[in-house]
Amino acid sequence: MKLAIIATAAVMLIGTVAPSLAQTYRSDARQYRQQERIERGIRRGDLTPREARRLIRQQRRIERTERRARYYNNGRIDPRSARRIERQQNRANRAIRNTRNNYRTY
């Protein structure tokens, strides 16, 4: 009986912690991929130094937003902050693509 209660409590605990960890992993992985794309653009000459600085500054802003969200929510990212971070990453993604392609749409 005690084992069943402990197992149920463990499953419930994992169920509440897992979504916040999944968001963290997804946003961190996405942040890493975007930084890689910026570095690749610098190496290939697709980005001027000024464009690269602007994109890197945008990435730092996203990281700062994520750090603040964790600080104010005991290490977790609440749904509202997660939406904000995702929106910022979407904007950064478009900015990287458009800047590397010199705003070509083909």
**Hunting for tokens 């802003």 — which residue is that?**
61
The Cα-based distances of 19 to 31, 71, 76, 95 in angstroms read: 18, 18, 10, 28
pLDDT at site 45: 92
Question: 94, 106 in Cβ contact below 8 A?
Answer: no
Chain-wide mean pLDDT for the chain? 84
Domain boundaries, the chain: 2-100
Burial class (CB within 10 angstroms; exposed 0-12, middle 13-18, buried 19+) of 84: middle
Give pLDDT tens digits for 19-55: 555 555 678 899 999 999 999 999 999 999 999 999 9
- Please write down the long-range contacts of 9-17, taking CB distance under 8 Å and 24 or more positions apart: none
**Where is pLDDT greater, at 57 or 19?**
57
Q: DSSP label at 105?
A: -
Whole-prediction pTM value?
A: 0.72
- Residues 12-21, mean pLDDT to the nearest whole number: 55
Q: DSSP label at 47?
A: S
